[in-house]
Amino acid sequence: MRRIAIIGSTGSIGRNTVSVAEHLSDRLRVFALAAASSIDRLVSQTAAVHPEVVGIADAARVDEFQKKCRDLGISVPSVVTGPEGLRQIVSAVEVDAVVSGIVGAAGLWPTYSAVLSGKIVALANKEAMVLAGELLKEAARASGACIIPVDSEHSAVDQCLRAGRHSEVRRLILTASGGPFRETPVQRFPEITPEEALRHPTWQMGRRITIDSATLMNKGLEVIEARWLFDMPAAKVDIMIHPQSIVHSMVEFVDGSTVAQLGTADMRQPIQYALTYPERLPSQVPGLDWTAISRLDFSPPDPQKFPCISLAYSSLEMGGTAPAVLNAADEVAVGAFLERKIPFTDIPRIIDATLQAHDLQRADSIDAIMAADAWAREYARNVMTQTVL
Ligand code: MG
């Protein structure tokens, strides 16, 4: 029996994790749930999996949670609050594995605490590896923590890597759907509107990640994650556009053999893989219907149309706090684009200008990383108020 804590339990990763835990109730026991503000959903999750502890970000919502539990006639778990409560949950001796499903920089501290506590960390929070990949990997080496990715591409790579040794890898190939502008001519890019960019062909996601999927910055961030998760230099991480999103990623080995992971697009698969690792257990996810797959297409991304990809690679080359700066400048630029303050094609320009101006620091503490993050947000905002980039 593996005892798990799900932080960010009411978000999309959290809800899928609860579903996996209910399905594997003889193998997974939910010790703790934590959420920011969706109290009703947290109450129904509590009724479903009976956690011993519940974390609520806002202490003012605790009474409401307890009352709703009593109204439903379910036993009220003990409640912890705020960042300290989260830290208690992820480092609790009763917890074997932490599912890190909190979105954004807010997920960084609890993920780091879980790693310091030597847990199995099923990592869905993107920022943690982008901002603090080196720090997290070093902390994991020291504590014995095992970080297993939940992001579909990285879960795919993890699965493919089991076919050979680390030293036998020639390159990792992350696949990308290509977003809504895969076939849009580059001349049209300056006129792209937020409405067009928010219309993603395959996935329904949050607003920032949807725009990041349109600029392909999302794939750039995934290259950074892959660099740290799998200890691969950036030169060994490639991207291929694959519009069908059936091949979730691939590993090419030195003998020229490529191993790919394919499957239905269902997050419960990578979540369950991370939580039962190194075992595979029967899941609720159907296999592929090969009779419905007529073709699999691949093409390299167009660097003219998607300069965010090369910016992500350069941030890795710069090292230190540069990926944190890239991420923060991107978030500011995407926000401005959504507010119609800048055209689509200014997103990479603002990121580039911010990266160029950054005074590089070592990313050897969360404080140093958060300082770079704050500097980049401020700088990117200032760049936008100037007329010439
Ligand atoms: Mg992904």
Number of domains the chain is built from: 1
Helix 322-338 × helix 207-215 angle, to 10°: 110
pLDDT at 206 over 90: no
CA of 263 to the centre of ligand 1 (A): 14
Q: How confident is the model at residue 104 (pLDDT cuts 50, 70, 90)?
A: confident
Ligand 1 center to residue 64 CA distance, Å? Answer: 35
User: Does the residue 228 lie in any domain?
Assistant: no
The rounded distance, in Å, linking the Cα atoms of 135 and 141 is 10
CB 358 within 8 A of CB 322: yes
Average pLDDT, integer, range 347-367: 97
Q: What is the distance in A from the centroid of ligand 1 to the CA of 97?
A: 21
In a domain, 336, yes or no: no
Distance from the alpha carbon of residue 204 to the mean position of ligand 1, in angstroms: 12
What's the mean per-residue pLDDT of the chain?
95
Residue 105: what pLDDT?
83
- The reply to whether 184 falls in a domain is no
Would you call 293 exposed, middle or buried from its count of C-beta atoms within 10 A (0-12, 13-18, 19+)?
Answer: exposed
**pLDDT surpasses 80 at 365:** yes
Q: How far, in Å, CA of 89 to CA of 96, rounded?
A: 11
Asked whether residue 293 is domain-assigned, the answer is no
Cα 156 to middle of ligand 1, angstroms: 10
- Confidence (pLDDT) at 385: 84
Give the residue carrying structure tokens 């804590």. 5
Residue 347 pLDDT more than 90?
yes
Backbone angles phi, psi at 173, to 5 degrees: -125, 105
Query: Would 45 be classed as within a structural domain?
Result: yes
**Gap from CA of 252 to ligand 1 centroid (Å):** 19
Query: Does the structure show a pLDDT above 90 at 55?
Result: yes
**From ligand 1's centre to the CA of 7, what distance in Å?**
19
Q: What tokens were used for 186?
A: 């580059």
- Per-residue pLDDT, 16: 97
pLDDT at position 69 over 60: yes
Residue pair 305/344 in contact (Cβ under 8 Å)? The answer is no
Q: Cα(61) to centroid of ligand 1, in Å?
A: 32
The answer to whether residue 388 scores a pLDDT higher than 60 is no
Q: Is the pLDDT of residue 203 over 70?
A: no
pLDDT grade for 199, boundaries at 50, 70 and 90: confident
Would 199 be classed as within a structural domain? no
Which one-letter amino acid corresponds to residue 9? S
* Longest distance between any two alpha carbons in the chain, whole Å: 63
Rounded to the nearest angstrom, the distance between the alpha carbon of 222 and the centre of ligand 1 is: 7
14 lies in some domain: yes
What mean pLDDT comes out for the span 202-214? 82
Identity (one letter) of the amino acid at 5? A
pLDDT of residue 201: 65
How do beta strands 120-123 and 28-35 pair? unpaired
> What's the pLDDT tens digit per position in 309-337?
999 999 999 999 999 999 999 999 999 99
Scanning the structure block, which residue is given the tokens 């899941």?
Answer: 283
Position 252, amino acid:
E
pLDDT > 70? residue 361:
yes
CATH, residue 89: 3.40.50.720
The CA distance from 61 to 45, in Å, is 16
Question: Ligand 1 mean position to 221 CA, how many Å?
Answer: 9
Q: Rounded to the nearest whole angstrom, what is the distance from the C-alpha of residue 248 to the centroid of ligand 1? A: 9
User: Ligand 1 mean position to 151 CA, how many Å?
Assistant: 5
How many angstroms does the Cα of residue 60 sit away from the middle of ligand 1? 34
Angle between helices 62-72 and 39-49 (to 10 degrees): 50
Share of the chain above pLDDT 90, in %: 94
In a domain, 176, yes or no: no
How many CB atoms lie under 10 A from the CB of residue 330?
29
Residue 153 Cα, ligand 1 centroid: separation in angstroms? 5
Is it the case that residue 238 has pLDDT exceeding 70? yes
389 pLDDT band (50/70/90 cuts)? low
Comparing 96-105, 150-159, 296-305, which segment has the lowest mean pLDDT?
Answer: 96-105
Question: In which domain, by residue range, is 77 found?
Answer: 2-149
Residue 386: band (very low, low, confident or very high) from pLDDT cuts 50, 70, 90: confident
Distance, in Å, from the CA atom of 345 to the CA atom of 28, rounded to the nearest integer, reads 46
pLDDT of residue 83: 94
Ligand 1 centroid from CA 72, angstroms: 37
Three-state SS for the chain is: CEEEEEECCCCHHHHHHHHHHHHCCCCEEEEEEEECCCHHHHHHHHHHHCCCEEEECCHHHHHHHHHHHHHHCCCCCEEEEHHHHHHHHHHCCCCCEEEECCCCHHHHHHHHHHHHCCCEEEECCHHHHHHHHHHHHHHHHHHCCEEEECCHHHHHHHHHHCCCCHHHEEEEEEEECCCCCCCCCHHHHHHCCHHHHCCCCCCCCCHHHHHHHHHCHHHHHHHHHHHHHCCCCHHHEEEEECCCCCEEEEEEECCCCEEEEECCCCCHHHHHHHHHCCCCCCCCCCCCCHHHCCCCCCECCCCCCCCHHHHHHHHHHHCCCHHHHHHHHHHHHHHHHHCCCCCCCHHHHHHHHHHHHCCCCCCCCHHHHHHHHHHHHHHHHHHHHCCCC
Q: How far is CA 267 from CA 13, 274, 286, in A?
A: 7, 11, 12
Whether this model's pTM surpasses 0.85 = yes
Strand-strand pairing, 120-123 and 97-100: parallel
Residue 207: predicted pLDDT: 86
> For residue 38, which amino acid is it?
S
